Structure 1
Amino acid sequence: MIGRARTYYWWCQIGGWMAFWMFSTLVSYMYNQHVTLQSLIDRTVFVVAGIAVTHAFRHFILRWQWLQIRLDRLIWRMLLGVIVSSLLITAIVDAYKYVFHLMTPQEKSFEFGRFFSIFIIILIWSLIYILWHYVEKERRYQLDRLRLESMVKELQLKTIKSQLNPHFIFNALNSIRALIEENPGRAREAVTELSNILRNSMQAEKVETVSLENEITMVRDYLALESIRFEERLQVHVDVDPATFPLPVPPLMLQTLVENAVKHGISRAVQGGRVEIISRIDGDFHEIVVRNTGQLSDSFSAHGFGLQSTRQRLEILFGQRAGFQIENIADNQVEARVRIPLMQETSYSSVHKSFSI
């Protein structure tokens, strides 16, 4: 995709400047100006300088991510860039003429009219480049939106088949049945927790993001049900910065990571283990960490549907700065870490809220 975009850029860059070369030559001929070999060479030098300087200008724009900032700030920066680029092209052309003794007496002094003509050309180039960028950005946004809608629907189906599979539901129902006689109150709570999980799963296809608080609530219901089955074997600790509760996350993302921790970690350990869920602000990122007792085996795939959909949805919703990784961090501990860039500047409390299930 990147290679194709680069190819399009060079076709437009070279093709546009060559079109300018032919157009300016045709205009000179139509107005009965002398079209000599030297004038063609001069015009070619100007075009080559234009290609080199505008390409450097483009590299500078991408390097400092100008196209990611607000339009009111972008206008002034682009205007300054156009002025600098125009001065550079003027200097290159004048240096060429000076070296080869081609400068006329008028060209030996700065002419505002000549500089203004170059300025207009570079300004047009900049407007075309920005327009192309925003049209392409809008096209990618629409494609990503379609991909996200398709992925969320697929996630809904996969959730029912795998994440909330019949095996989990049967285990939960068996646990509830065992509680009916010995602890009817807890059995009623368990039925409510299971219905909440199913309801949230069915609604996942209707939204692109949910608040972390919503995800934490669903995960607590899931872990509460699992604690009936595992009893003392499952220890849970949640450490959440209250400022992260309203932050957006992909629906069922945290559920996927916690379910993965229980399925591949706690359930395989004879003595059970511990699941930790951490949510905090780390600089310009919202960081979510899920740690569990266990080890990633050689047969474990970090590219399974749940984990792969987590990566894809993070990239679509929050861009390439978002990240996800899962790895062994100790002899008997696995860590899944999600980093989501904050979408706007907000002041956050440093006070954390901790609780255990």
Structure 2
Amino acid sequence: MEPATSFWQRPLFWGIRRWELVAFLGMHTFLGFLYWCAILLTSGQNQAIGISINYLFKILFTAPVWWLFFRRLRHWNLRNRILLHLPLCLLYVFTWKTIFYATSEAIGIGHLDASGSWWDVYIPILVYLLQFGVFHAYEYWCEILRQKEKEKSLMRLAHAAEMSTLKAQIQPHFLFNTLNSISASVPAAQEHTRTLIAQLADVFRFAMNVSDKEFITLGQEMEFIRNFLALEQQRFGDRLSVYYHFDETLSDYPVPPMLLQPLVENAVKHGIAKSLEGGSISVRVQKDGGSVQFEVADTGKGINGYQPGQLFTKGIGLENTRQRIQKLYGAPLSVQPNEPVGFRVLFALPLQPHPEWNKK
């Protein structure tokens, strides 16, 4: 069952919520009741029907004026809207009085006449001023609540950003200090463990240092890939073999940082990890005429019946790399089945360095 608060908060029309409509009708019912009591006590007449029609017309004529002020002209400042109330109040009273008197005469219930008819000007003006005073006060109150909620949200975001900044400053130092402490505590006989810890530190340090760079050298990227895959080889043991085919003359060639890492990680995660027998990963970077050819291939699980184009929707690694290459170089990235098993990712970049690199 839907909670009562949710039911009453649900808007009906013009953005008016159920409880607001009930409150508005209740206010007019209360005013009508007071008017009925006053007439009954002063004249002894029971004019329930006439008063009901009286306040029904007040409600009907209030609706379009409310819509004008709080929907159509809500962007106006309060001063201009208050000035507009002066002529509209008179129009409201004139329209209400004309139609109410005509209706009363048509159904034979009577109305105030002669000097008494001024009460049918004075009271509607009071009702108009009272209800729209309440409406404007309520609007102001809602705006204060919205502003306070906005300030709270901004404070929460600012606090979260501040904490993230502090964590970003603390965590790398804590991580490297911890890794150094662990490395120092490892006996000299276990030099291999020390090497793994150093490689892990290099991986984290690289990721942190290149986070604000647009380009790095291909030599730096390949060194990072070697450290990354060395750690993965320790994880998989004999199940993972790695082969590199890298043209060393391309060591100074500029590439976006961590360009190959998502492709290599994807090969490990979806190719090797899902194969009981494991497999191999090869990273090939070679010149080919006026371009640099990149290929990351594995002999793992393969594409599992997916069409190559569907693989871009199965994770963010391939898609992000594809978009980076497309936006920076206008070059495509393709995924193809590998032979005899597995899959490979290929793309080519112009041998001429990216123009942004030359600005550095």
How high is the TM-score relative to the length of structure 1? 0.46
Structure of greater relative contact order (alpha carbons < 8 Å, 6+ residues apart): 1
Rg (Cα) greater in structure: 2
